[in-house]
Structure 1
Amino acid sequence: MEPVILGLVLGGLYALLAQSFVLTFITTKTLNFAVGEFVALGAFATIAVSSWSWLPGFGRVAVGFLAASVVGALAYRFIVLPFTTQGEHDTRWLLSTVALSFVMLNLITNVEGPSPQRSDTARLGGSVDVLGVGVSKQQLLLAVLAVVISLLLIVVSQRTSIGLVMRAVSQDPETTSLMGISPRLVGMGAYAVAMGLAGLAGVLYAATVGASPVMGAPLLVASIAVAVIGGLGSLWGPLLGGALYGVLSEVASFQYGAIWGETAGLLLVIAVLVWKPEGLLGRRMEVKL
């Protein structure tokens, strides 16, 4: 039972980051492979204002979210959008976001240094008992937040005019532009929210491991895997993918050693791609990748 509970909790962190990929893909059919650096950006932005005694803890967390959001919107406008002008099969954005990853990594390292920095913002000490298993409060917070944010995104997507506009832009950007809706602004909004979520995850994750320029790198592969397993076209997908990937990884690590944990998760990705390429909850569609 212990590896199952721990896997579900760990899967929450992956699911939160996976939503960043799903949001941008649903709206713009692109992915940002610099998500790991946005995790670090959110963490360091919060540390930068940690000495502002007049700003409450919630405000400091909001700074991390907003910093990543603003940079995310600008990244879409100037790094992604210019490389999507040649139709659905134009994949230059993939290389541009990889380049953005290296640029951000170097900038953050030059400004903050390579060593981890302690972050006390939104830190929850101790653990709680979950079905007889001791779980870190900080990790449990991330898992609960992933569920709450995922449900909120689903409600917004399915029940509001904002969600209707997002789906319309995704399916036919040319027609929606003729109706007075700007696909560029919708894409910038999607990237702002998506990268803001990555920054928020970075703020909460840094309270456990410390903030460093490379703190998001170990999470990147797992979060992409979770998004692929659940389905890049489904906002429910990260929750299912996170649960499956987290539990399988933890059970394999518990039974056969840590090296088999990540391997088991990646084997699950391969199995899903072979059996259901669009993901377990995704719908079959033509994609750029």
Structure 2
Amino acid sequence: MNADTVVNGLLLGGLYALVALGLSIVFGVLRLINLAHGELLVAGAYLAYLAGEHLGLGPFAALPLVVAVTAALAYLLQRFLLTGLLVRSADGALVATFGLSLLAQGAFAQGFDSTPKALSSSLSTSGLTLAGVHTRTAYLVAFAAAAVLCAAAHLLLNRTRLGTTVRAAAADPTTSGLMGIDIRQVYAVTFALGAAVTAVGGVLLGVTYSFTPTTGTSYLLIGIAVVVLGGVGSVAGTFAGALLLGLVQSLAAAQFGGGYRDLSVYLLFFVVLALRPQGLLARRAAS
């Protein structure tokens, strides 16, 4: 084990926190596993790619536009499709997100073909050496973004009136509805916020790695693993679980080879399920 392996593993965990945060927020409030979450990530990357091709914007200059478009689309989907299904049966909404995932993959393949794309940025290839530790600049930016967004989400959910409303709706939607809370609106806003965070993760993924129409599936699995490791609905747990996952992956690759990176994810997932099924920092609702 060396410092490079540990530090880069933790920084990779920051990128995984961005991948999983939106999924954690949505599941913590709506109790819905969004199977189209990976496609929201890829949509963020493709929107930034389009902004670069047609508007001449770099990935970070395009980020506000990407976030706004993704959040608006997610709001409409939740408000006019998923919420109606969710109030009847969680199974119906789950199946609908699977259908949206397949639809999005088909749309990406039709619009962009299957050739891997990447977002052009100096961060993609640049690196830094700090205290003798070599790392990619993109990892540092992703880690910083994850720390800021996780802190902001925690404060929003625990220190604002909106957060109080969201937590009430998550804890008991029926009673909250009787008390005058518009559950459909809360669900739509929550889904939009989760999608906005996810779009940021998608852009940084596109800067760090290449992506294709089917890339989202692998990141959905990583996101689910992070949420389970950290504890369902816990923002702090999501961040901690992502760091742990990134560290374990980095150590496994260094010790046994790159082929064991994905295997280490599933092994850690099952170990935590067996020993602490509630996750590292489980909470009753998103917090």
Aligned residues: percent identity? 28
> Do 1:21 and 1:232's aligned partners in 2 also have CA atoms closer than 8 Å?
no
- Give the Cα separation in 1 of the matches to 2:269 and 2:284: 17
* 214-223 or 19-28, larger mean C-alpha shift: 214-223
Structure 2 residue matching 1:278: 3-state secondary structure? coil
- Give the Cα separation in 1 of the matches to 2:64 and 2:73: 14
Distance 1:82 1:115, change over 3 A: same
| Partner in structure 1 of residue 254 of structure 2 | 254
Q: Does 2:73 align with 1:85?
A: no
Unaligned stretches of 5+ residues in structure 2: none
Normalising by structure 2, what TM-score?
0.91
CA deviation after TM superposition for structure 1 residue 70, in Å: 1.7
Distance 1:134 1:44, change over 3 A: same
* 31-40 or 120-129, larger mean C-alpha shift: 120-129
CA deviation after TM superposition for structure 1 residue 46, in Å: 1.8
| Partner in structure 2 of residue 174 of structure 1 | 174
> Do 1:61 and 1:122's aligned partners in 2 also have CA atoms closer than 8 Å?
no
Structure 1 residue matching 2:55: 3-state secondary structure? coil
CA deviation after TM superposition for structure 1 residue 203, in Å: 1.3
| Partner in structure 2 of residue 190 of structure 1 | 190
| Partner in structure 1 of residue 142 of structure 2 | 142
CA deviation after TM superposition for structure 1 residue 121, in Å: 5.6
CA deviation after TM superposition for structure 1 residue 189, in Å: 0.8
**Structure with the bigger percentage of helix:** 2
**After the TM superposition, which parts of structure 1 deviate over 4 Å for at least 4 consecutive aligned residues?**
55-59, 121-125
Q: Kindly tell me the number of residue pairs found equivalent between the two proteins.
A: 282
- Give the Cα separation in 1 of the matches to 2:171 and 2:33: 16
Unaligned stretches of 5+ residues in structure 1: none
| Partner in structure 2 of residue 269 of structure 1 | 269
Matches within 5 A, 1:210-225: 210-225=210-225
Aligned equivalent of 2:55, options 52, 55, 69: 52
| Partner in structure 1 of residue 69 of structure 2 | 67
Normalising by structure 1, what TM-score?
0.90
C-alpha RMSD over aligned residues: 2.1
Amino acid at match of 2:46: F
CA deviation after TM superposition for structure 1 residue 221, in Å: 1.3
CA deviation after TM superposition for structure 1 residue 44, in Å: 1.5
- Give the Cα separation in 2 of the matches to 1:25 and 1:219: 16
- Give the Cα separation in 2 of the matches to 1:208 and 1:189: 29
